[in-house]
Structure 1
């Protein structure tokens, strides 16, 4: 096993999970993220919740991270995640891993934004209230 590369910051505000993804990720970071998200979202399970994911400081991940993150997102959706606002530069390759079809989860939708205020507004229109930044 290798040392984790990259990091993340998380905060929960009401029924919204705020996530900042930072640096280049390897498998160890993805596994740490999976454990952390499972723990921190336990208090949200049982009611609809949302997420804002900020990718501006992310430098992508190694291919072995994909199945871990893919399964984690599915688990989050099954545990009440209804909306995800992803913030990244427009036309960025960083969006590619998030452009996965989730048609088998009709209660879930994801939208992409280049800045925090419109992401926050989109969620507020659906009764998910994130703090000002």
Structure 2
């Protein structure tokens, strides 16, 4: 994970268990605390992610609720499998303050985030 401008970039790899998800949630919040004084975005790259155990979705739901109430405004999600998009769409139902865009690749995700002002053009 890294922060660029007001955007948290999250690259997901391999398959996950609940311990991985709990670590992600903890580190995600720690990083976002550096930028959530202003509206921020998240770019989630799932192109190399192999899904996870079903118990992770409760934690992802809590993380989405946290972002929703901590100034998140945009989320770009790169999916390589339709099941990823379906699961992410379900988890995003709590994101009432966040505009989400599903993208095919990093170029498309960055272009959309630039278009909404979450990443600089450089």
What TM-score, normalized to structure 2?
Answer: 0.90
Question: Which residue is equivalent to 1:59?
Answer: 50
* Structural RMSD (CA): 1.8
1:114 maps to 2:107: no
Highest Rg: 1 or 2?
A: 1
- Structure 2: runs of 5+ lacking an equivalent: none
Count of residues in correspondence between the two structures: 121
Higher relative contact order (CA 8 A, sep 6+): 2
CA distance in 1, matches of 2:117, 2:98: 14
Question: Which residue is equivalent to 1:7?
Answer: none
Aligned equivalent of 1:35, options 26, 32, 36: 26
8 Å Cα contact 1:16-1:130 kept in structure 2: no
1:94 maps to 2:84: yes
Question: Which residue is equivalent to 1:72?
Answer: 63
Change (3 A) 1:50 1:36: same
